[in-house]
Amino acid sequence: MDDHAAGSSAGGSGDSGASREALQEAQLKLVLMQTDSKFTQQELPACKPILTPKWVITVFVIVGVIFVPIGIASLRASQQVVEIVDRYDDACVPANATDKLSYIQNSSIPKTCTRTLMVTKDMKQPIFVYYQLDNFYQNHRRYVKSRNDVQLRDASKANDTANCDPEATANGQPIVPCGLIAWTLPTFRKLYGRIHVDLKANDTITVQLENNYNTYSFGGKKKLVLSTATWLGGKNDFLGFAYLSVGGLCFFLAFAFTLLYLIKPRKQGDNNYLSWNRTPTGR
Amino acid sequence: MGRGGGRRRDRLRWSKLYTFSCFRPHGADDGAGPSATGLGGPGFTRVVHCNNPALHRRKPLKYMLNHISTTKYNIITFFPKAIFEQFRRVANLYFLLTAILSLTPVCPFSAVSMIAPLAFVVGLSMIKEGIEDWRRFIQDMKVNNRKVGVHRGDGEFVYRHWEDLCVGDVVKVEKDQFFPADLLLLSSSYEDGICYVETMNLDGETNLKVKRSLEVTLALEDDESFKDFRGVIRCEDPNPSLYTFVGNFEYERQMYSIDPFQILLRDSKLRNTAFIYGVVIFTGHDSKVMQNSTESPSKRSRIEKKMDLIIYILFTVLVLISLISSIGFAVRIKLDLPHWWYLQPQSSNKLDDPSRPALSGIFHLITALILYGYLIPISLYVSIELVKVLQAHFINQDIHMFDEETGNTAQARTSNLNEELGQVHTILSDKTGTLTCNQMDFLKCSVAGVSYGVGSSEVEIAAAKQMASGADDHDIPYKMILALCHTAIPEINEETGAITYEAESPDEGAFLVAAREFGFEFFKRTQSSVFVREKHTSSKGVTEREFKILNLLEFNSKRKRMTVILKDEDDQILLFCKGADSIIFDRLAKNGRVYEPDTNRHLNEYGEAGLRTLALSYRVLEESEYASWNSEFLKAKTAIGPDRELQLERVSDMIERELILVGATAVEDKLQKGVPQCIDRLAQAGLKIWVLTGDKMETAINIGYACSLLRQGMKQICLSIPTGDQVAQDARKAAKESLMLQIANGSQMVKLEKDPDAAFALIIDGKALAFVLEDDMKHMFLNLAIECASVICCRVSPKQKALVTRLVKEGIGQTTLAIGDGANDVGMIQEADIGVGISGVEGMQICYFFYKNIAFGLTIFYFEAFAGFSGQSVYDDWFMLLFNVVLTSLPVISLGVFEQDVSSEICLQFPALYQQGPKNLFFDWYRILGWMGNGLYSSLIIFFLNICIFYDQAIRAGGQTADMAAVGTTMFTCIIWAVNMQIALTMSHFTWIQHVFVWGSIATWYLFILAYGMTLKSRDNYKILLEVLGPAPLYWAATLLVTAACNIPYLIHISYQRSCNPLDHHVIQEIKYLRKDVEDQTMWKRERSKARQKTKIGFTARVDAKIKQIRGKLQKKGPALTIHTVS
């Protein structure tokens, strides 16, 4: 049917060879494209999970089933922990000292203080002794910044006090160790020591301590803490309750969705829910 | 005609035949012609020494080389320019500022953790820019290295690269080659120096244009003759006007003025002419087409703009919480710091001086602005960009957009606008090359009131053959008109003897092929005659007949008709006229109207079928009548002056009367493969389609019919300027008023229409458009246009195209997609509705970015508030550095690139799904706020759960308590889990790639913290996983709890939405999943047919309308069919 060719204005028979070549090249390209097509054509085998009611309920039930036991276990662990907290900053200031601040700042007064603690429950060793400080801004940037690892690591770098302000130099000499951190205690609750003896309920423990640190000027509380620990660590009811809440919520959701599916069921793949079937026709 | 050889064949002097288009100002003028005034003055300084390019290689006549470059950068400018481009983005500028500030003690982080991600992000963007520019460079190289024959001297032509061309060079351009520069046509393979040019790349017009050389240069007809050729051209300076040229040509001490007829523009193509000689006038960027190309503005997608808006919102949040933070800081510094003796407030510097809280507060504001910088997703732009590049790559690789003929795949030239593909509201399409392939097929004919031809071209040819056997009185003129009334040239293939035709317009070619099938084969044309072989079906004999051409009044858009006057062997003078039906019907003789009603009906049918129609007529002239007319005609033809054309028209009009109608033709302007289906689908997807074409109104309307944008029964509102003879300034006003009236009438008509199925089409021509696009009318026009189902603009100039596009874009405020030359691939249009997947995810992606950065950034804020507003960050610098760039961005990218909510196949089956894009279902404010709320919720959960869990109790059996590093690392672990789980929940399509990215990100975090903990750089995080957190069950328990708690609300949301308020793609996913489409095919089919926007255009709509029409007819019991009989 050369009539068709004639119908077009292009014509010209000389380039038929060239066009054949081009066609071959095109074919070749097509083949090349097909060979590595799975990726480039975005036809990789894919998993297409669909959130069916079954899945929704299953997921919530599974989360609930996992979380509730964890919650119970955590709570139990937390319940096993015996913790004795003794706040002593007020008690260790003699009743006759009217101004706590001047008392603590007066270095001539002996600060030794004796506290007697009653063990409420049996405590298995090891028993951890903590020193706790409240209302203390150990994470203040001014505080956190003030440290120099190089100096701490290497004795020959004693002169390196970069970043250590305001605890960098004294009388023109570098402070070793420099920085605020090195000169104070960095955590809310600091592990002080361990007691490697089991304690029985109603045992009394007498602690003698030096009440030297001034927390009075910033309203900090000082506490002495004796605590046992479990696999989970210290007394931590919050974790258990949180797990129980989330687990409980999931069970509730599983239940709620079940109800929803029962009351207002939607058949999977129900074509009546397609937008064009839902809106009244005719706009 | 002394020179033999095949070349003689096409050495026709068309100028002798053509009446209108080849008008040449005769004789030489001495440079005083009206066009030549001002030459040499400002704006008209160019001097070209023909055939003496050496003069143009040095000053003062040194002009630009023909080398072109469209790249944005070069090696030297790349770095500064690209960096400048990068920092024009607000977010990047902000990060640059923070990076600079990070060198001062104000910054809460180490400098490297601020600079590294910025460098990474900017570097990546720059690499992308570089690669795209490199591609442009390669493209330029290809053009620059095209070859063309150049005169080297001594009449010898050699092939040289385009880029080496110089002003003054004489070039020889062969058939179907592009012109390498703007040329002055000297001579062509035709004896009278005309050539045909296709200017599709310039103005999109498909009909060939005739150019002709000056008479004086006709002698330069072979290579040899250029040996001693010298001449000087003085002309205008480079300018972008395609249709004007002012200059003159000094040759052999005579001056000749040059007009646009002699200028061949770069990027147009030589057609139907074996070769031409020309001299280079404008090279490279001086050429008119390059002057026209404006630097393409970097387009920004709508989503990107919205993204900016959200970034501004986040900035506001950032500034707000920074203010809160710095006020808090100032207050605490003033009231509390003096008591915090352990921080040694007495030795304060100005950053935290209790005595100057305001100043410290201001410094702290800067610190806070940097600290909360994590609210701004630094990697957002680069991730989105990366996604787009990858998407573009996949578009380029898509096998469904592979053109088997050329071996080309789709080419996404810029990756900036991929997501817009999913949001298109209106498509503005060019006609030629986009909708049609510029090829005509003779499909139907109406001869003597009988319609022939039923369907595809082959059937029709068979029918025609049959028709040819039953010779009829009226057939003969019909065939003769087809075979004789044209300007084509036959070309005989020497090997096969087959004849091909080179015609000015493709439909002429189609006529000739049809005439051949009818038994009238046109095979030879000489200067004065056309030769036709007549096949006698009865005797199987062939007679050659010769017709002398007396006059040829060719087609132009004004006349809309073409006439030849011939003398046959019996000395009978015949006039054949073909033209638009309205024109022909007006000129019929009283006795020539026998077939008018039937023909008219056929014409309407053909028109409805989307065919391009012409009416054919003839007239027998008396010798004396002709003679008297011809003398007048000759007078008009030789007249000089402005009214020559008018006179010619008047004279022509005199003879083209009293015609006898013989029939009509219907030619199919062949649509590109798949166009009707594509338009159908696009229409069903709810897209609006406007056609902007350089073609004349009739053609445009025909194409409208062919691709079902128009159909019979649609009410057409035509806007055009009534032709009147008003005075020039009045005409403007009058035209405007009349257009106003037309628009108002149209709007009224639309408003008053009661029938919901009525459809309107707006057709406007270029001249009217010029008025309509003015500020005071454009909104009126747009409002009317929006009401119409389809809009067709004809005779539109490229600039108007741009204006219309802008009008639509700004007027409707929706995304528009323009398709034009260069993007000829219809497959691409078809693929546009794949955009569903792209768009949804794009919005989701951005939402996710905001979510994760809010979730992350706010935890920093809470902690800071916790640490006395001191600007302390709970996370290690390195964690933060990795958060945006490594740990959370890859899954989003995989979401953007690989997500498919439904497969592409289903997208095509359910075009209505596309509406999810333009309706912005995935990126509305409701959704954005939802995601932001989710981020807020997650941040609260992450921070407070962890703080409560780790507050003061031992975290391990060994009694160790957690410090800031331990809490920070645990929180960070929770964030990594929470955000990655979140994205896993948003995905509905998991290939191994998504798995690798999502789970890989989480694994990377653990690997990183493990490796990081080994180095001394980790400071407080030294071996934190191995020795501090890893052995603590509390750490793992906290991770699990927080991750679950963060994701439960979203899970509830999607579960609820799916069960009570499912989106279309949800339902379709389920149908597919349950294989319901296989089991219940009728349902599937029904839904597929319903899943389209109620549309008034497109093939389907046409079928619907037809069905309705037939039903209506049946009810009336009227005759549904008419039976035609041969008279």
Model confidence pLDDT, tens digit, residues A222-274: 899 999 999 888 888 999 999 999 999 999 999 999 998 898 887 777 777 77
Marked catalytic residue, from B169, B182, B203, B430: B430
- Whether A129 and A193 have beta carbons less than 8 Å apart is answered as yes
pLDDT digits 0-9 by tens, B750-771: 777 777 667 788 888 777 777 7
Residue of B952, B964, B983, B1076 to mutate, testing the A interface (most A Cβ within 10 Å of its Cβ): B952
Mean pLDDT of B226-254: 81
B757 is in an annotated binding site: no
Mean pLDDT of B42-46: 76
- Whether B968 and B885 have beta carbons less than 8 Å apart is answered as no
- Whether B715 and B757 have beta carbons less than 8 Å apart is answered as no
Comparing CB atoms, the residue among A3, A47, A128 nearest residue B513 is: A3
Average per-residue pLDDT for chain B: 76
B175 is in an annotated binding site: no
Nearest in space to B691 (alpha carbons), one of B808, B822, B834: B808
The answer to whether B225 faces chain A, any CB pair under 8 Å, is no
Comparing CB atoms, the residue among B517, B957, B1070 nearest residue A229 is: B957
Nearest in space to B302 (alpha carbons), one of B810, B651, B1046, B901: B810
B825 is in an annotated binding site: yes
B89 is in an annotated binding site: no
Q: Which residues of chain B are within 8 Å of residue A16 when distances are taken between CB atoms? A: none
Tokens, residue B418 = 């991929």
Q: Which residues of chain A are within 8 Å of residue B952 when distances are taken between CB atoms? A: 132, 188-189
Nearest-angstrom CA–CA distance, A257 and A253:
6
pLDDT of residue A65: 95
Nearest-CA distance B497 → chain A (Å): 11
> Length of chain B in residues, anyone?
1127
Strands B424-430, B815-819: pairing kind: parallel
| DSSP-derived 3-state class of residue B765 | strand
Q: How many CB atoms lie within 10 A of CB B1056?
A: 14
Who's near A20: CB < 8 A, 6+ residues apart? Answer: none
Nearest in space to B384 (alpha carbons), one of B297, B308, B295, B296: B308
Residue contact A191–B340, C-beta within 8 A:
no
CA B900 to each of CA A46, A47, B681, B976: distance values in angstroms, whole numbers, following the listed order: 10, 11, 20, 24
The answer to whether A16 faces chain B, any CB pair under 8 Å, is no
| A11 band by pLDDT with thresholds 50, 70 and 90 | very low
User: Which residues between 453 and 512 in chain B have a beta carbon less than 8 angstroms from any beta carbon of chain A?
Assistant: 457-458, 461, 491, 493, 495-496, 498-506, 509-510, 512
Q: Which residues of chain B are within 8 Å of residue A70 when distances are taken between CB atoms? A: 1037, 1040
Residue contact A44–B992, C-beta within 8 A:
yes
Residue of B366, B482, B1055, B1068 to mutate, testing the A interface (most A Cβ within 10 Å of its Cβ): B1055
Radius of gyration of chain A (CA): 38
Q: Is the peptide bond before A280 cis (omega within 30 degrees of 0)?
A: no
Tokens, residue B654 = 């005199």
Q: Is the peptide bond before B60 cis (omega within 30 degrees of 0)?
A: yes
| B829 band by pLDDT with thresholds 50, 70 and 90 | very low
Nearest-angstrom CA–CA distance, B786 and B690:
10
The answer to whether B529 faces chain A, any CB pair under 8 Å, is no
More confident site: A40 or B219: B219
pLDDT digits 0-9 by tens, B619-674: 888 888 888 888 888 877 776 666 777 777 788 888 777 888 887 877 776 676 77
pLDDT digits 0-9 by tens, B941-952: 999 999 999 888
Q: Burial of B1062 by CB count in 10 Å (0-12 exposed, 13-18 middle, 19+ buried)?
A: buried
DSSP for B568-598, written as a single string: -TT--EEEEEEE-HHHHHHTB-GGG-TTHHH
Residue contact A242–B394, C-beta within 8 A:
no
For the question of residue B430 being annotated catalytic, the response is yes
B430 is in an annotated binding site: yes
Tokens, residue A161 = 């006090």
Nearest-angstrom CA–CA distance, A237 and B948:
10
Nearest-angstrom CA–CA distance, B487 and B74:
50
Per-residue pLDDT for B1042 more than 90?
A: yes
Nearest in space to B580 (alpha carbons), one of B550, B605, B609, B558: B558
Per-residue pLDDT for B1001 more than 90?
A: yes
Say which DSSP state B973 is in: H
B1098 is in an annotated binding site: no
DSSP collapsed to 3 states, A30-53: HHHHHHCHHHHCCCCCCECCCCCH
The answer to whether B405 faces chain A, any CB pair under 8 Å, is yes
Say which DSSP state B1024 is in: I
Nearest-angstrom CA–CA distance, B1060 and A256:
13
The answer to whether A120 faces chain B, any CB pair under 8 Å, is no
Average per-residue pLDDT for chain A: 79
The answer to whether A232 faces chain B, any CB pair under 8 Å, is yes
Bridge partners (DSSP) listed for residue B453: none
Nearest-angstrom CA–CA distance, A107 and A214:
11
> Taking the model in full, what pTM does it have?
0.71
Residue whose pair of structure tokens reads 């049918």 in the numeric block: B605
Please report the ipTM that was assigned to this predicted complex: 0.87
Q: Which residues of chain B are within 8 Å of residue A10 when distances are taken between CB atoms? A: 176
Q: How many CB atoms lie within 10 A of CB A273?
A: 18
Q: How many CB atoms lie within 10 A of CB A169?
A: 14
Per-residue pLDDT for A77 more than 90?
A: yes
Nearest-angstrom CA–CA distance, B8 and B1:
8
Residue of B174, B343, B347, B438 to mutate, testing the A interface (most A Cβ within 10 Å of its Cβ): B343
Residue whose pair of structure tokens reads 């600290």 in the numeric block: B371
pLDDT digits 0-9 by tens, B424-434: 677 767 665 56
Nearest-angstrom CA–CA distance, B1033 and A78:
13
pLDDT digits 0-9 by tens, A112-132: 889 999 998 899 888 999 988
3-state helix, strand, coil split of chain A in percent (to 5) is: 40, 20, 40
Q: Which residues of chain A are within 8 Å of residue B951 when distances are taken between CB atoms? A: 188
More confident site: B22 or A6: B22
Least confident of A197-211, B682-696, B921-935: B682-696
Least confident of B571-575, B930-934, B1050-1054: B571-575
Nearest-angstrom CA–CA distance, B326 and A197:
50
Residue contact A233–B957, C-beta within 8 A:
yes
Nearest in space to B53 (alpha carbons), one of B164, B141, B219: B164
Mean pLDDT of B86-93: 78
Nearest residue on chain A to B1082, judged by CA atoms?
A: A271
Residue of B189, B336, B340, B342 to mutate, testing the A interface (most A Cβ within 10 Å of its Cβ): B342
Per-residue pLDDT for B962 more than 90?
A: no
Radius of gyration of chain B (CA): 37
Per-residue pLDDT for B349 more than 60?
A: yes
DSSP for B142-156, written as a single string: HHHT-EEEEEEETTE
Nearest-angstrom CA–CA distance, B782 and A45:
47
The answer to whether A143 faces chain B, any CB pair under 8 Å, is yes
In Å, the largest CA–CA distance within chain A is: 122
Residue whose pair of structure tokens reads 């000689």 in the numeric block: B277
Residue contact A26–B951, C-beta within 8 A:
no
Axis crossing angle, helix B111-144 with helix B75-86, rounded to the nearest 10:
130
Say which DSSP state A236 is in: -
The answer to whether B174 faces chain A, any CB pair under 8 Å, is no
B555 is in an annotated binding site: yes
B598 is in an annotated binding site: no
Nearest-CA distance A128 → chain B (Å): 6
pLDDT digits 0-9 by tens, B512-543: 777 777 777 888 777 677 888 877 666 667 78
- Whether B51 and B251 have beta carbons less than 8 Å apart is answered as no
Nearest in space to A84 (alpha carbons), one of A60, A115, A63: A115
Nearest-angstrom CA–CA distance, A14 and B851:
63
Q: Please provide residue B763's backbone torsions phi and psi, each rounded to the nearest 5 degrees.
A: -125, 125
- Whether B240 and B291 have beta carbons less than 8 Å apart is answered as yes
Residue contact A191–B960, C-beta within 8 A:
yes
Nearest residue on chain A to B989, judged by CA atoms?
A: A48
